[in-house]
Every structure is written in C-alpha cells, then in structure tokens.
C-alpha cells in the first residue's frame, strides 16, 4: 500500500519541484485539467500589463519592430521547436490548431498528389480529436479526396497505394494512449504516404522527436501543456524538405500577407516567403501570443533541471502513482483504466470509465470531484463503442505527488460516500 508520507517524500526529491513556484495555483485546488487549459504562469500578469500599457498604449505601431511583435511567430516557434525535436527555423506559432491543420494538410495532399495523382485518401483514426476529422472532411470536399477512418490496429494495414496522407494525433485526447511516432511514420513513408502529426496532447508533456522520426508535418496547441493562456495561438512544423520547395507555389492555400516574401512591399502578386514563414497568413493576436512566451519561459527554466527527459520521468511517476492509488483505494467501485499501463504507450493523462454504473454516473462523479477542488474533466461517450470518460491530466511542471494522493483520496470518498448522487452534480448543462 502507498501512504501519504510516501507521496510527500516523492515531492521532496522531485528535481522539478521548484518549477511549481512559476504558476498560480488557486487555493484548495488540485488541478488535473492542464490538458484542457494550463495554469497561469505568474509572470503572465506583469507581461499582460507590459504589452497592453507599454507596447500598445505608449509605443503603438513602433512596437511592431521595437517590441518584436512582427517576429513573434518565429521567435516563439524556435522555442517550441526545442520541445518537439525540430530545427528552430522550422516552427511558427500562429492562428489556431484547426487553421494550422488546414494549412499543413493542404500542403501534404498537394505534395503527395503532385508525386502521384492517384493518391486521394487521407487515413486517420476514428477516435482522433473531432476537429482534425472535420478539417480533413472540409479539405476532402475541395480536393476530391476521401477520409478513411480506422481503429489504431488498422492504421498500418490501411496504408495502401491510394493513401496520400496519414493524419494522426500523437496522444489520444480521450484515452491518453500514445502512438509510436517513429514506427508509424516509417510505415507511412514505406507505403509512399506523408504524415501529419497533431501534438495537442504531446508538446510540453512527452518528449517528441519530429526530426528523429523523420516526420513531414505537425501542428499543436499553445494553451494545454504549454500553458499559454485561453485560446493561445497554436503552432505548426514543416520539415524543410517540404517548406524549402520552390516548385509548388500556394503550397498552403491560406496565402495571406504575413506569408509573403516581402509583406511590406505591398506587391499585388503573392510570392511565398522562403521556408516556414510561408505558412503564416494574417496579423496575429499579439497580446495572447505574448502570454504564450510566459508559458515557454518555464520550459527554459526546466532545461537546467533535466528538460523534457526529466519532465517525462516525472509524468510517468505521477501517472503511475495515480493509477496505483486509485486501484488500491477505489477498488470495488467499477473504475476501469482506459489509459495504457505500458509507459511507451502512455501520454501524460489517466482516463477511467465507470463500469456497471447508471447512465450519467461518470459525469456526476466528476462534478462532485470538482466541487471538492479536484479539477479533472468529463468526456461523454457516444453511447456505443465509446464509453463516458473521467479524464485526469498531469502537468509535470506544476503537479506534486501529494496532489495525486489527494485526488485519489477525494475520488475514493466521492464514490464510497455516494456524494456524487446529489442532484446538483447531475445537471449537464454546464460544459467544463
């Protein structure tokens, strides 16, 4: 059996423990929803005031150069690159994950079909995050393609000669299961397909090596494990073998002026910028983007403490501990682990279903937990193959091992006491 003192001992020897002080943790809160919206870095308060009052209010348009506004997509991109195994000049921060996916998926289809016009299929996983599937469905309309959805085990068998692009999310948003990026990329390339990775639940949470995997394209999110603030700009990565091509103008169709080779020449004809900059489009939301830098600053501080390798070790220790505690202390209440036990297949979250429970029980259990300050979230199933899920994200930068104890303890108490049956926890109108 694991005891509270064991958890406290883990905190005292945690090499990343000092990073917790970079974040504002609301009182009496165990925050297990950093995979939805990361905590606020304390520095964000002063940074917001600086950007709004000084850079905007006082310096106005001069800040496009003097405060580096115009280069923010590249400057933040280079810092994100260090977390995902990319070259610094291959990443930009901009727009939303959905819009960025549209850009890179368009480019991937264009490049694949340029090499072989018969390739008209996008393969993805049925349980991929819906917006990824929606964006692919939209592109299929204009590009005459077809989206083929398979289960995880069906990915490699699906890679036939008609497949243009394999589009996958590295860590599944519901289950926390992590794909073998290098293996699947190699399999796709062997079949002649290109690969697009969505790193929404990976970047900042698990080590990613896009260059090592020889992947083609990636997108990711700024407001989850990167702690960039609500709706923070997203990012995208393109391997230089693609972004360096000059034979495919309009490689991505969102050909706005920030992607032009000379945006301030006000030329009436579009000429894409060389490299990754051609994947920019319009003027970026500078205040939101500036706050993303505060999130990235914590990763710079983490670098001296072991970087992504240390973050990964702690992530696995946290999720191992949570799984063990829940299995020890909540036995008999029907919780079934959805997230893989094997480390190589686990992201930085733990998901459970509630077996043999009445309809709506999982939702009510999560509401009861949130009322006690343990903030995870609930993802509804489809009533068929997909069950309702209790989802707990673990951000190693600010989570402690004692937090994990309290989360498991509250979960035990909510289940054992039947507290979740109270009427106030059963109203589904609120989306959390």
Q: Which residues are catalytic?
A: 129, 198, 223-224, 391
Residue 30: partners with Cβ closer than 8 Å, 6 or more residues away: 373, 374, 375, 403, 406, 407, 410
What values do phi and psi take at 390, rounded to 5? -95, 120
Residue 53 Cβ vs its own copies, minimum distance, rounded to whole Å: 6
d(CA 29, CA 202): 24
Residue 178 Cβ vs its own copies, minimum distance, rounded to whole Å: 20
Q: Are 376 and 391 in contact (CB under 8 A)?
A: yes
Q: How many residues does the chain have?
A: 432
d(CA 11, CA 20): 11
- The count of chain residues that interact with its own copies, using the rule CB under 8 A, is 90
Q: Which of 115, 190, 265, 331 is the binder for its own copies (CB under 8 A)?
A: 265
Rule CB under 8 A: say whether 235 interacts with its own copies. no
Closer CB to its own copies, residue 192 or residue 250?
250
Rule CB under 8 A: say whether 8 interacts with its own copies. no
Block residue for tokens 């108490």:
413
Rule CB under 8 A: say whether 28 interacts with its own copies. no
User: Where does this chain touch its own copies (CB under 8 A) — which range of 235-243, 254-262, 355-363, 401-409?
Assistant: 254-262
Rule CB under 8 A: say whether 43 interacts with its own copies. no
Sign of the alpha-carbon torsion through 110, 142, 237, 281: positive
Nearest C-alpha neighbor of 225 from the set 166, 152, 176: 176
Closer CB to its own copies, residue 259 or residue 396?
259
Rule CB under 8 A: say whether 133 interacts with its own copies. yes
Question: Footprint of its own copies on residues 286-345 (CB under 8 A)?
Answer: 286-289, 291
User: Where does this chain touch its own copies (CB under 8 A) — which range of 76-84, 141-149, 182-190, 295-303?
Assistant: 141-149
User: Where does this chain touch its own copies (CB under 8 A) — which range of 3-11, 33-41, 78-86, 355-363?
Assistant: 33-41
Residue 164 Cβ vs its own copies, minimum distance, rounded to whole Å: 15
What values do phi and psi take at 383, rounded to 5? 80, 0
Residue 138 Cβ vs its own copies, minimum distance, rounded to whole Å: 4
Q: Are 373 and 413 in contact (CB under 8 A)?
A: no
Longest CA span, the chain: 70
Per-residue interface string for the shown chain with its own copies, residues 367-406, x marking contact by CB under 8 A: --------x-x-xx-x------------------------
Q: Count other Cβ atoms within 10 Å, centred on residue 165.
A: 29
Question: Footprint of its own copies on residues 88-117 (CB under 8 A)?
Answer: 95-99, 102, 106
Closer CB to its own copies, residue 140 or residue 182?
140
Mark 127-155 as b/e (b = at least 16 C-beta within 10 Å): bbbeebbebbeebbeebebebbeeebeeb
What values do phi and psi take at 128, rounded to 5? -60, 160
Q: Which of 57, 160, 183, 212 is the binder for its own copies (CB under 8 A)?
A: 57
Residue 333 Cβ vs its own copies, minimum distance, rounded to whole Å: 25
User: Where does this chain touch its own copies (CB under 8 A) — which range of 12-20, 182-190, 201-209, 262-270?
Assistant: 262-270
d(CA 2, CA 13): 17
Q: Which of 68, 138, 207, 373 is the binder for its own copies (CB under 8 A)?
A: 138
């Amino acid at each position: 059996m694991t005891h509270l003192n064991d958890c406290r001992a883990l905190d005292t020897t945690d090499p990343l423990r000092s990073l917790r002080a970079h974040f504002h943790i609301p009182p009496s809160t165990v925050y297990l929803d950093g995979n939805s919206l990361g905590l606020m870095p304390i520095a964000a308060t002063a940074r917001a005031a600086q950007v709004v009052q000084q850079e905007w209010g006082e310096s106005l348009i001069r800040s496009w150069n003097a405060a580096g506004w115009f280069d923010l997509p590249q400057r933040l991109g280079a810092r994100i690159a260090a977390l995902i195994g990319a070259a610094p000049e291959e990443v930009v921060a901009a727009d939303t994950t959905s819009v960025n996916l549209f850009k890179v998926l368009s480019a991937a289809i264009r490049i694949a079909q340029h090499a072989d016009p018969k390739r008209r299929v996008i393969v993805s996983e049925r349980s991929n995050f819906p917006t990824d599937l929606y964006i692919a469905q939209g592109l299929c309309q204009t590009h005459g393609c077809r989206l083929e959805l398979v289960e995880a085990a069906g990915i490699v068998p699906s890679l036939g000669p008609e497949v243009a692009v394999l589009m996958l999310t590295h860590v599944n948003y519901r289950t926390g299961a992590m794909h073998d990026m290098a293996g699947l990329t190699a399999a796709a390339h062997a079949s002649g397909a290109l690969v697009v990775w969505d790193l929404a639940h990976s970047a900042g949470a698990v080590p990613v090596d896009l260059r090592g995997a020889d992947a083609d394209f990636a997108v990711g999110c700024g407001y989850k494990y990167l702690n960039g603030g609500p709706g923070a700009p997203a990012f995208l990565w393109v391997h230089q073998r693609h972004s360096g091509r000059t034979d495919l103008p309009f490689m991505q169709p969102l050909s706005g002026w920030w992607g032009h080779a000379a945006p301030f020449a006000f030329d009436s004809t579009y000429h894409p910028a060389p490299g990754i900059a051609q994947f920019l489009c319009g003027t970026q939301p500078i205040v939101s983007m500036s706050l993303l830098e505060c999130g990235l600053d914590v990763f710079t501080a983490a670098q001296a403490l072991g970087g992504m390798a240390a973050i990964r070790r702690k992530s696995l220790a946290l999720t191992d501990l949570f799984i063990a505690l829940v299995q020890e202390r909540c036995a008999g209440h029907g919780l079934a682990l959805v997230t893989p036990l094997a480390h190589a297949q686990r992201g930085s979250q733990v998901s459970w279903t509630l077996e043999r429970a009445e309809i709506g029980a999982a939702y009510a259990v999560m509401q009861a937990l949130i009322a006690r300050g343990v903030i995870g979230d609930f993802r509804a199933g489809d009533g068929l193959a997909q069950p309702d899920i209790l989802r707990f994200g673990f951000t190693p930068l600010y989570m402690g091992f004692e937090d994990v104890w309290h989360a498991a303890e509250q979960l035990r108490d909510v289940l054992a006491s039947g507290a979740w049956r109270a009427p106030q926890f059963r109203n589904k109108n609120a989306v959390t």
